[in-house]
Amino acid sequence: MDILRNKVAVITGGASGIGRATAILFAREGAAVAILDIDEELGRSAVKEVEAAGGRAAFIACDVAKAEDCRHAVEATVAAFGGLDILFNNAGIIRRADVITTTEAEWDLVMDVNVKSMFLMSKYAIPHMEKRGSGSIINTGSGWGMKGGGNAISYCASKGAVTNMTRAMAIDHGKQHIRVNSVCPGDTDTPMLRSEAKQLGQAEKEFLAAAACRPLGRYAQPAEIARAVLFLASEASSYVTGSALVVDGGGLA
């Protein structure tokens, strides 16, 4: 369909899961994609998958909790592809623990990856979007940014921050024709979801069965979330900003 033709996108956490699925979809729709991740092997394999499908992509190693890495990643993207139109702040982690058992180091890590990274990437990306006269930023939130969840205190806090940070950014940058939205997935079949079972000491099969307990009777596939991200990135959502798009099979309902 080429609905992102001539667009340049940056995707954090782009080597696997929702990020990888979105990179592939964006490339199929005509965008040049910079895939950012700390996993170089997976990141380069994602680039090869995009290129095999006829798309354009580059891998940039990036620790999104570090300002210099984020600045370099944005500048490298602009140097490689000539500009920047779309930022998908997707990198994220989860630690399944309550407030008593969560360590200070775990709290800081979750906040750094899930919240600080979005601040840093946006800080360096927005000036380049201004030069283009428009832009779209999509932040990965969660249903647990809108309601509580058990044994996930740092994750819930971080995703609540993402939801309201998205609204604040939409207010600040609307005058620059930059739209800022969040996508809020329910449980999705990613390595992170499966890691939760191990963290909680549960059998993976039982954990995934519980994740499927929602009106649609299943958890999501990464490509399903990617299609929602594509909507927010494209002109199909040209009058949408400051929103939180829930894609969770009815779980919040």
pLDDT at residue 132 above 90? yes
**Predicted structure pTM score:** 0.97
Fold of the domain built from segment(s) 8-246: Rossmann fold (3.40.50)
Which tens digit of pLDDT belongs to each residue from 24-63? 999 999 999 999 999 999 999 999 999 998 899 999 999 9
Q: Percent of the chain scored above 70 by pLDDT?
A: 100
Q: Which pLDDT value is given to residue 8?
A: 98
Residue 202 has pLDDT above 90, yes or no: yes
Taking Cα atoms as reference points, which of 130, 152, 127, 134 lies closest to residue 142?
A: 152
Asked whether 50 and 21 are in contact (CB, 8 A), the reply is no
Question: What pLDDT is stored for residue 1 in this prediction?
Answer: 67
66-118: pLDDT as tens digits: 999 999 999 999 999 999 999 999 999 999 999 999 999 999 999 999 999 99
Integer Cα distance of 59 and 73 in angstroms: 9
Instruction: Tell me the catalytic residues.
Output: 155
